[in-house]
C-alpha cells in the first residue's frame, strides 16, 4: 500500500510539472525573439502605447544614414509622421500594421520590407495581440530626419480600409 501511495505521488508530481511546462510554453509563444536590446522607451507625444528604440547607426557626414531597431508592444503605434528622404522598414519579428495616408492599412510581418516614400505621411506599429520588431533605415539625413504629426486614432488603427 505504501508503494502505491508513493508511486501515486510521484506520478501526480510528474504530471503537474509537465502541465506547468506546457503552460510556460503557451505563455512564452507570444513573446518575440529580440535581436537587439529593448532600448529606450519612445516619447508618449510620438507614440501610442510602448515603443522601444535601440539606435544602431548614428548619423554622420560619411554615411548620412540613421539605422535602428524599434520594438512595439502589442497595440503600440507611432504617430503619423514623414521623413524628408523616406524610410525603409525591415520587419524582423511579430505582426503589425503600416499605412500611407490615403491608402488602406497593410498588415506586415516578419520578413517584410516596407518602403515609405519621401515626405509622405505614414504610421506603423504592432497588431493588437502581437508585438512587432522592426529595423528602420533613414537615408540622406542631410535632408532631415522626421517630422512628427498627429496621433493615429483608434478608428484609423482598427480600420482595414
Q: Where are the domains of the chain?
A: 1-30, 40-158
- pLDDT: which is higher, 118 or 32: 118
Residue 126, number of CB atoms within 10 A of its CB: 27
Say if residues 35 and 69 touch (Cβ distance below 8 Å). Answer: yes
Exposed/middle/buried for 149, CB within 10 Å: 0-12, 13-18, 19+? middle
Contacts of residue 21, defined as CB under 8 A and 6 or more positions apart, other chains included, come to none
Residues whose CB is less than 8 angstroms from the CB of residue 160 and which lie 6 or more positions away in sequence, other chains included: 104, 105
In the three-class reduction of DSSP (H, G, I as helix; E, B as strand; rest coil), residue 4 is classed as helix
Going by DSSP bridges, is the β-strand pair 106-109/51-57 parallel, antiparallel, or unpaired?
unpaired
> What pLDDT score does 160 carry?
77
Quick: pLDDT tens for 48-98.
999 999 999 999 999 999 999 999 999 999 999 999 999 999 999 999 999
Q: What are phi and psi of 110, to 5 degrees?
A: -45, 130
Query: Which cell numbers in the block locate residue 161?
Result: 480600409
Highest mean pLDDT pick, 5-9, 35-39, 126-130, 157-161: 126-130
Q: How confident is the model at residue 30 (pLDDT cuts 50, 70, 90)?
A: low
pLDDT of residue 3: 54
Which grid cell is 111? 520578413
User: What is the CATH number that goes with domain 40-158?
Assistant: 2.60.120.10
pLDDT at 26 over 80: no
Report the share of the chain in percent with pLDDT over 70: 80
Exposed e or buried b for every residue in 47-86, given b needs 16+ CB within 10 A? bbbbbbbbeeeeeeeeeeebbbbbbbbbbbbbbbbbbbbb
* pLDDT reported for residue 148: 98
Rounded CA-CA distance 115/90 in Å is 9
Q: Please report the pLDDT score of residue 16 as a whole number.
A: 43
**Res. 129: pLDDT tops 80:** yes
Amino acid at each position: 500500500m505504501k508503494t502505491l501511495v508513493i508511486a501515486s505521488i510521484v506520478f501526480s508530481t510528474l504530471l503537474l510539472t509537465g502541465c506547468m511546462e506546457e503552460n510556460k510554453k503557451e505563455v512564452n509563444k507570444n513573446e518575440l525573439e529580440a535581436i537587439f536590446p529593448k532600448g529606450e522607451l519612445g516619447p508618449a507625444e510620438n507614440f501610442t502605447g510602448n515603443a522601444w528604440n535601440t539606435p544602431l547607426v548614428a548619423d554622420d557626414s560619411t554615411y548620412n544614414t540613421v539605422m535602428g531597431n524599434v520594438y512595439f508592444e502589442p497595440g503600440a503605434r507611432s504617430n503619423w509622421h514623414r521623413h524628408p528622404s523616406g524610410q525603409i522598414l525591415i520587419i524582423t519579428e511579430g505582426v503589425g500594421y503600416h499605412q500611407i495616408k490615403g491608402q488602406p492599412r497593410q498588415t506586415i510581418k516578419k520578413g517584410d520590407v516596407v518602403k515609405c516614400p519621401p515626405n509622405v505621411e505614414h504610421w506603423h506599429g504592432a497588431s493588437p495581440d502581437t508585438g512587432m520588431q522592426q529595423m528602420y533605415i533613414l537615408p540622406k539625413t542631410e535632408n532631415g530626419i522626421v517630422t512628427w504629426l498627429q496621433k493615429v486614432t483608434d478608428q484609423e488603427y482598427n480600420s482595414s480600409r
